[in-house]
Chain A
Amino acid sequence: MRRGRNKRAVITIDSDGTDADEESEDDLIEDIEDDEEEISGIVKRQPELVQPEVKRAKRPASIKTKTEKERKIKKETGTETETETGNQQWSDQYAPKSIDDICINPQKLKQVKEVLYDMIYHPDALTSPRILILSGPAGSSKSTTVKLLANDLIRSSQDNFGSYNNDKWIEYMDIASSDGFNQSNQFDEFMNDVKYRVGSNLTVVVLEELPNIFHYETLIKFRNKLREWLYMDTRLPPLVICLTEVEYNNNDLGVTPSYSYNIENNLTVDTLLGKELASNPKVKIVKFNSIANRYVRKTINNIMKYERKVFSQIPVHTLNGFLDELVKLGDIRSILFNLQLWARNYVQRKERGVDDETYLETSFIRENQINLFHAIGKIIYSSSEFANLADDKKDFYSIEQVLNSFNNSALLNLSILENYGIYQNGNYEISIASEIVDDLSLNDLMIDGEASKDFGIRSTRNKLRSIEVRSSSGYTNKLKIKFPRHFKMIRQYNKTMYQIKAYQRYVHRLRNTWQELNMIDGYYLPLIYNKKKQSRYLYNRLGGKFQEIYADEELGVSDLHGNDGHNGRGFDRDQFEVDIEQAIAELNNEEGSDDEEGLSDPIDDSIDELDENEDEDGERFSSDSELEGLISQGMI
């Protein structure tokens, strides 16, 4: 593919640039697709900025092959998707392939390079910085910088090993798993695997995608893993976290209802790592800013050279006017997306004889960042930016915008489920709603592939579009967009499960499955015990009362932070908890002293039986990490 592109680019340069290319765009697309087939066997990561022959001569094999491990990870997780079509994104197509091409302030580049160098070549493996955090707004070249630097720094020392073509970085891929329960393990496994990537196998570990840190327990596990990483007493590969910080932005675009906090602007270095980790001396932080105009200009000029066919059709003053606005965005990815969309549209309209120079000039630009609530709004209502377009185009661009700036399709689908009902305040046919949910349900079955990313989203938009607007002017949105309560449910689920499992393990002694205890015993036992036993507290429903779970209109900070541990909140003081505590205390007593009388007040007959065996294996609970976990989480 890349060779094909290069060829193409070279031809364009060789031919007279001012001539309108003979080929229509369709042909071009075909061409590209042909090229793609030629080398389809080669897996590639990111297309690179096209370089003339000189560059290619210097790097004979410009087609990157992924390292074995990476391929394995990709394969296992099934996220390998060839996203390219003829309509390739410029931001991918012209991504830099050497550090000199990165769209970044050279000072910043130098700073990162120095830290990274220190991490790689520090003489003392134990005191060297271990984690580098690149924080900054979206599209400020964070990950591009670290990846290219990694290749550059490590390759320069290993040139003669023939591993020249392998990337010297490995990236974490997060795969949404069933109901979000196992994601943290996935991260654990990744971290355990990569820690051996040292020596001749040295690789920079890049975390750009993170595990589902909006899920409270996953966040805690994530932090613990990083802490562990900092204090491991062996040489480790450099770990770089690319964190897209979103500053609080009150620029409401009017499409969506007002909101105060959202999931994205909560994410900063501090909220991700917690104060303690963030201030650790082994953690280095480099803050990126929006990219300054001159560097953006440089990159754009480069691209315009290769896309001359397109830009030659746009009058210079129109183009410049647009570019002046555009570069202010400071987000290189979004700039290129907007530029491409704008230019294509301009040309298409011109071909159809519409000459509207101001068309879409500014509307694209404002759309620089899109948060979850905006994204949902665009899916439910379609974007107002495109209100003057035909219906299908309107939908298409709205969805494109969402997809281009929002990758987490699982979260999007959950959010749609939470919000499809707000369209026209829910005053539409149940059959349409059922089709939407049906498609979301189908979408949930698709494990990978391109369709899994947008099937539910597109279908929702189409189905909602089909609803006749009853009174086009008369209705207002009474219902607010809500954040999906899935994570709330999971938190509650875990709480319930912890209590029941603790009961099953320590009081009930594993004679039934915990699900059965939950469904049957959990209801009857309090009814029996509260009459039968004279206990200090009442027995409540095992695992806590049934509680209705509502979706939130915002994600409060307090919900995510400050709730450090399951300190029994949500349960009243409950005799079951007391029983569990007591059972554990007794087990600990047995362990401490071999005194069999330690069992003063058995709660359950089965514990009587236990003490006859305990001297065989008095220490068996000493390494009970489940118990420790429960205690540390304040459950017990």
Chain B
Amino acid sequence: MSLWVDKYRPKSLDQLSYHDSITHNLRALAKSGDFPHLLVYGPSGAGKKTRIYATLNEIFGAQVDKLKIDVKTFVTSSNRKLEFNVLSSPYHLEITPSDMGNNDRVVIQDLLKEVASTEQVDFSNQSSSKTKHRFKVVVINEADSLTRDAQAALRRTMEKYSSNTRLILVCNSISNIIPPIKSRTLLIRIPAPSITDMNKIFTTISNKESLKFSSNDSQEVNQFLSNIGHSCNGNLRKGLLSFETLSIQSETISLSPNSLSVLKLDWEVIIKNLSITIRNNRNVASLAKVRVVLYELLSHCIPPRIILKTLLFNLIETVNSEYVVSQLIELASIFDERLSLGQKSIFHLEGFVAKAMVAIDKM
């Protein structure tokens, strides 16, 4: 009874349904039995991890999907205990350095040293099996959030342990990856699936699940599925979850555009309403109301940067002066930077809202 995202997740390279040329390259790497360090990047929900696991599956077999969670403890130089989770199979392990804060350098160095020193020596008796490999794979998630320090350290580690460790760095963007790492890894870009790509997947699933639509006109169904694709803006994971949500609400799926309204995420709706408040009521009292909502979003762990970005895009929609739009964009860009440099995000979010009100006032 698992979710469609899990049920229809491709387990092997053969099951991957889009980006064929990338799949082709991955298969080539997997077949050669060895690969250089990889840097896999692309927007979230594009299928980076799915492709990595499919490749590992190709190399090591199904055992890589048998994951267990270990809790590792490190003691920092200041004698502080640091715990983080490691996801692992006999052939690889996966870490998320953002769990480690500023200690990521030490933790990663230690961990890789440990991995490198416990070499895989199981090829004496199973030389014919596919699992014969002298290296272990370390997947590092959110590599773009690694501190510069940690990245610099990683660069040396890459060279030092290249005989028995392979790193796969995963990130959304390589802008924050230092050049030496980029030049020591094979870059693999995974773009978001196109509307057509997603449409194909949705169609396959709706056939397999024998979904019923309010109309049998394939043209109409197609259009409807494309709308779902549009609403999730290239994030297949979001697309699948929202498709399943939609399909489970009633026996037959109504193809009217209204039924899509359930797909809008709750916090996105909150921000959309916020943008309308900002557009229509531009005064000090309204700022106080805005603050309530901003705190609401923050307290539900919606990242400030996402709040700012979503708010900007919604505001742009409500404003028709191009001059004001470009002003709003510049404001968002400024306050976005302040979010990075500052400490308490509420100041900058409210700062943006106040400035945006003034900018719209001048329209």
Which chain B residues border A605 with CB–CB below 8 Å?
A: 2, 6
Which chain A residues border B301 with CB–CB below 8 Å?
A: 493, 496-497, 500, 515, 518, 543
B338 within 8 A of A: yes
Which chain A residues border B295 with CB–CB below 8 Å?
A: 485, 488-489, 548-549
A486 within 8 A of B: yes
Q: Are B347 and A444 in contact (CB under 8 A)?
A: yes
Range class of the A interface residue count? 35 or more
B254 within 8 A of A: no
The one of A180, A421, A443, A625 in contact with B287, judged by C-beta atoms closer than 8 angstroms, is: A421
- Using A179-B345, A437-B354, A441-B351 as known contacts, say yes or no to A421 and B302 having CB atoms under 8 A apart: no
The one of B79, B98, B299, B338 in contact with A192, judged by C-beta atoms closer than 8 angstroms, is: B79
The one of A413, A414, A523 in contact with B265, judged by C-beta atoms closer than 8 angstroms, is: A523
The one of A192, A543, A623 in contact with B78, judged by C-beta atoms closer than 8 angstroms, is: A192
For window 67-116 of chain B, which residues contact chain A by CB distance below 8 Å?
67-71, 73, 78-80, 83, 85, 87, 94, 96, 98, 101
Which chain A residues border B265 with CB–CB below 8 Å?
A: 519-520, 523
The one of B80, B285, B302 in contact with A426, judged by C-beta atoms closer than 8 angstroms, is: B285
Q: Are B344 and A493 in contact (CB under 8 A)?
A: no
B131 within 8 A of A: no
Interface centre among B3, B49, B293, B354, by most A CB within 10 Å? B354
The stretch among B24-32, B221-229, B238-246 that forms the contact with chain A is B238-246
The stretch among B119-127, B317-325, B355-363 that forms the contact with chain A is B355-363
In whole angstroms, how far apart are the Cα atoms of A58 and B126 in the complex?
83
For window 467-493 of chain A, which residues contact chain B by CB distance below 8 Å?
485-486, 488-490, 492-493
In whole angstroms, how far apart are the Cα atoms of A65 and B18 in the complex?
68
Q: A180's closest neighbor in chain B, by CB? A: B344
Q: Are B67 and A193 in contact (CB under 8 A)?
A: no
Which chain B residues border A434 with CB–CB below 8 Å?
A: 351, 354-355, 357-358
Which chain B residues border A428 with CB–CB below 8 Å?
A: 284
B22 within 8 A of A: no
In whole angstroms, how far apart are the Cα atoms of A403 and B242 in the complex?
53
Q: Are B244 and A441 in contact (CB under 8 A)?
A: no
The stretch among A208-216, A352-360, A371-379, A525-533 that forms the contact with chain B is A525-533
- Using A489-B295, A528-B245 as known contacts, say yes or no to A414 and B71 having CB atoms under 8 A apart: no
In whole angstroms, how far apart are the Cα atoms of A535 and B3 in the complex?
16
Which chain A residues border B345 with CB–CB below 8 Å?
A: 179
B141 within 8 A of A: yes
A524 within 8 A of B: yes
For window 605-623 of chain A, which residues contact chain B by CB distance below 8 Å?
605-606, 609-610, 612-614, 617, 620-621, 623
For window 501-536 of chain A, which residues contact chain B by CB distance below 8 Å?
505, 509-513, 515-516, 518-521, 523-525, 527-528, 531-533
The one of B141, B241, B342, B348 in contact with A524, judged by C-beta atoms closer than 8 angstroms, is: B241
Tell me the dominant secondary structure on chain B's binding face: helix
Tell me the dominant secondary structure on chain A's binding face: helix
A161 within 8 A of B: no
Q: Are B306 and A519 in contact (CB under 8 A)?
A: yes
Nearest chain B CB to A131 CB, angstrom units = 21
Q: B362's closest neighbor in chain A, by CB? A: A431
Which chain B residues border A544 with CB–CB below 8 Å?
A: 300
- Using A426-B284, A516-B44, A614-B68 as known contacts, say yes or no to A550 and B245 having CB atoms under 8 A apart: no
Q: Are A486 and B241 in contact (CB under 8 A)?
A: no
Which chain A residues border B262 with CB–CB below 8 Å?
A: 527
A408 within 8 A of B: no
Q: B302's closest neighbor in chain A, by CB? A: A519
Q: Are B79 and A438 in contact (CB under 8 A)?
A: no
The one of A433, A489, A624 in contact with B298, judged by C-beta atoms closer than 8 angstroms, is: A489
B249 within 8 A of A: yes
Q: Are B68 and A610 in contact (CB under 8 A)?
A: yes
Interface centre among B292, B357, B358, by most A CB within 10 Å? B358
B178 within 8 A of A: no
Which chain A residues border B296 with CB–CB below 8 Å?
A: 546-549
Interface centre among B237, B267, B284, B293, by most A CB within 10 Å? B284
Which chain A residues border B291 with CB–CB below 8 Å?
A: 417-418
Q: Are B282 and A178 in contact (CB under 8 A)?
A: no
Question: 6 new A-B pairs (CB below 8 Å) besides A437-B347, A492-B299, A510-B85?
Answer: A434-B354, A488-B295, A516-B44, A527-B248, A528-B241, A548-B295
Q: Can you spell out 29 A-B residue pairs with CB atoms less than 8 angstroms apart?
A: A178-B344, A182-B101, A192-B79, A193-B79, A410-B344, A417-B350, A430-B283, A433-B354, A434-B351, A438-B354, A441-B347, A441-B348, A442-B338, A444-B348, A485-B295, A489-B346, A509-B87, A513-B98, A516-B44, A523-B267, A527-B245, A531-B249, A533-B1, A543-B301, A546-B297, A548-B296, A609-B67, A612-B66, A620-B68
The 7 closest A-B pairs by CB, nearest first: A434-B354, A492-B299, A441-B351, A426-B284, A549-B295, A444-B342, A524-B241
